[in-house]
A and B are shown apart, each in its own frame.
Chain A
Amino acid sequence: MKKVIIALMMVAVTFGAMAQVSLNVLNYQQADQAGYQEDVQIWQDFQTQNPDIKLNMEVLFNDPYHQKLQAYAAAGTLPDVFYVWPGARSAVIHEKHLAKDLTKLLGTEYLSHFTGAATNPKNELGGYLAELPQSFTYTSVMYVNKKAFTDNGLKVPTTYADLRAAVPRLKAKGIAVMMLPNKDGWPGQSCFFSTVAGRMVGDKFFNDVLAGKAKFTDKPFVDALKVVENFYKDGIIQRTDNAIGYGEGPGLFAQGKAAIILDGDWRTGAYITDKASGKALISPDDQHNYALMNLVALPGEKFPGVASAVAGTGWAIADSLQAGPKLDAAVKLIKYLYSPEVQAIRWGTGAYVPTRTDVKPPAGLEPLPSLLPAFYAENSKTCYVIDGINGLDPTVATAINNGIVDIGNNAKDAVQVAKDVEAAFEAAKK
């Protein structure tokens, strides 16, 4: 009898194991930021709701994530589901077609629940929908501490002249007018100069450069760099900001060290209440004193009101997955992650405003992230984020990153930086 029971148990275990599909997932997750607890819960809920799918999760963040993804790609062992950037950061995935085309896989009916910008394949490096952007990201947003201005008898700035006028009064009180933590190099380009360039030269200029009809040393581009020079020269941005790491910015801004910080829209999540600790960099009550604004009007701008924006990050499925239970499980996971419920949770953590259109605003959304939809509505004119321009070699974006740092450090002027960028462009062409 004992033997029969053991045999039956073994059969049950074997069939149980056979029925369960294993999915390897490479997740991008930051454990020390508000929203982590909710994110963990999202994955646990999927696992509970789908006992037939076993998730083998690997969690990484920042550069280690990209290196691991690259290594997996080189070894031909990409996980089944992974997180992808729309541009150069995940170039190998797009260029080598290592992810499935989600337009075909998910179908137009399903994708009709998303904004056109999210499902437009032209917004991705490979020209196909390798990942479904969860958000459409505005990379240069002014987070404005309105109280810092009004307390010092100043109006909230909307023009460059307003910013300049605020320098003496705010500086006298030990407050910087605008903070641009640029030690890492990329924020100067992504969170500031992309919009400056969009305003001063427009997207057409970059298209012309790529077509060989314009050069980075042309006057309009040099003038755009001179705008950056003036922000530092006039004391609006402190040169010492070049020694502040990107991660340090929100803390210093919340402490009142600056009246404005330049950052991406994704950073609202850094200021809201962390469910795990119950603490917020800016308390929900104080968040009413803050505004999200487009960069102020610049002197000599040709394209007023544009703001740099790019398709956001999202989930992808390995191209190597063949039709069958595993692919079905991967699609099920993707659809769960993009479901209105999960997207509402992510919205509530301040991570982004979803590109999925039928997501209801989550209850209890804190004031700062709740400003985002209005910000998007008011700033519909967008321009390139330079490091996301298809066809522009990343080394050119790096040269611009370095150039903005050099201008900030007063190590080079606009003309010299323009020459460096053009040289990088010419070198990349070869």
Chain B
Amino acid sequence: MTGAKRIDREAGRAYWFMSLPAFVIYIVVMAFPIGLSIVLSLSDYSGGKMFGGEAWHIVGFDHYLRAIQDPWFWNALKNNFYIVLISVFGQLPLGFIFAYIIYRRIVKWPGFWQGILYVPNIISIIVVGLLWQSIFSPSGPIAQVVNDLSTNRFHQQLVAIIGSQGHLNLSDSAIQAVLKLGGPDAPNMFANPIPDLRGMIQAYPSNQYGVLITDLTNLLLQKWTPTFLNKPNIAMLPVLFVILWMYTGMYLILFLANMQKIDTQVIESARIDGANEGQVMRHIILPALSGTMVNSAILAISGSLSSFALIFALTGGGPSRITEILSIYMYNSAFLGQHDFPLANAIALITVIISMLLIVVTKVFESRYGGKED
């Protein structure tokens, strides 16, 4: 045996010795679950002991078909695409712009801004979800401020109507005007709106005029609540805003770190040669960061399609499923009501396929239009 061969064999043994544990762990923790997921998505497994229990069979692509025939699948997919869009065309450009501003020191205290923008990333996702949920809730701070303002205005309107005639001698038209303030549903509260409301108002003695105004405000003021957030298409807006708020800082850090690798002399030379900030960004920074951008886009796409916790904590997919995304649709299929593991796995694999397609599109786009980093 020659020395070279012996070294090769020793190197081979060392290679396997060092890589085998990782390879085994990969097979057990990654490859096996993926394989099982594919098999389950094609099966009629209906729960219970998976191996050695009731027999189950491969039934083909039935569950994939079921998924794509379900209108809720398309609703979830549409919501996922909104998230992909806000991630790729919201977080990335914003992250880049913020990184550029900080890198070029266009603002004072760049370190401070970098920290502020990154903070949402280090807060627990569940905390963020609950925080924004309370902000958008009907008793949250936004609704409270709006309602405080409208209560004052309502008070004044009531006083203007009632005060001029005195509450014991209100005319029909004045009662009608009070009812009108309460909006279209106000008459529903009374069997005979005008006599009933008059009776109610006149039951207050003269010395309780203030109480009357407060009570009428409680009764008739249509409190503002963010009910528009319950409407399809609009319900996703606060979710998208929170996603933008939370993750932009992460891309800022990614871009900033890569910008700091660019030779500053190149930028200074360009500036000496008369290039303005826009030209520096377009002709030096952007081409140098095209690879980072593609990687960030891949991160954003795969993260968007697999996101779960934030929306689960924020809306739970509600109201009545309109903010459901694929991962929540999958979770509900697997764990709520009658557990449907094959459908859940089919949804998971469709998500993976869509994710891969989007990544391929991104790579093609980069190879065609991207710049060179080196």
Point out residues on A near B: beta carbons under 8 Å: 63, 66-67, 70, 73-76, 88-89, 91-92, 95-96, 98, 164-165, 167-169, 171-174, 183-185, 233-235, 239-240, 242-243, 387, 393-395, 397-398, 401-403, 405-406, 409-411, 427
Supply 15 further A-B pairs (C-beta < 8 A) apart from A164-B191, A243-B137: A70-B339, A74-B49, A75-B50, A91-B337, A95-B47, A168-B190, A183-B316, A183-B318, A240-B138, A240-B223, A240-B225, A387-B337, A405-B319, A409-B319, A409-B320
Q: Size of chain B's interface in residues, with CB distance under 8 A?
A: 42
Contacts of B200 in A (CB 8 A): 168-169, 172
Q: Mostly helix, strand, loop or mixed at chain A's interface?
A: helix
A418 to chain B, nearest CB (A): 15
A247 to B230 CA separation, bound complex (whole angstroms): 21
Tell me if B155 is interfacial: C-beta within 8 Å of chain A: no
A242 to B231 CA separation, bound complex (whole angstroms): 13
- A76 with B51: CB separation less than 8 A: yes
- A411 with B189: CB separation less than 8 A: no
Point out residues on B near A: beta carbons under 8 Å: 46-54, 70, 137-139, 185, 188-191, 196-197, 200, 215-216, 218-219, 223, 225, 227, 230-232, 316, 318-321, 335-339, 341
B330 to chain A, nearest CB (A): 13
Contacts of A405 in B (CB 8 A): 318-320
Contacts of B219 in A (CB 8 A): 168, 171-172
A selection of 25 A-B contacts at a CB cut-off of 8 Å is A63-B335, A66-B335, A73-B48, A73-B49, A76-B49, A76-B52, A92-B48, A96-B46, A98-B49, A168-B189, A168-B196, A183-B319, A233-B185, A234-B188, A235-B189, A239-B225, A243-B137, A394-B336, A398-B337, A403-B320, A405-B320, A406-B320, A409-B320, A411-B231, A427-B70
- A67 with B320: CB separation less than 8 A: no
Nearest CB to that of B50 among chain A residues? A74
A28 to chain B, nearest CB (A): 16
Q: Please pick, from A184, A243, A394, the residue contacting B337 in the complex, using a CB distance under 8 A.
A: A394
A182 to B16 CA separation, bound complex (whole angstroms): 58
- A235 with B47: CB separation less than 8 A: no
B320 to chain A, nearest CB (A): 4
- A393 with B53: CB separation less than 8 A: no
- B318 with A167: CB separation less than 8 A: no
List the 6 closest pairs (A to B, CB-CB), nearest first: A394-B337, A96-B48, A402-B320, A76-B49, A92-B47, A172-B215
Contacts of B341 in A (CB 8 A): 74
- B338 with A172: CB separation less than 8 A: no
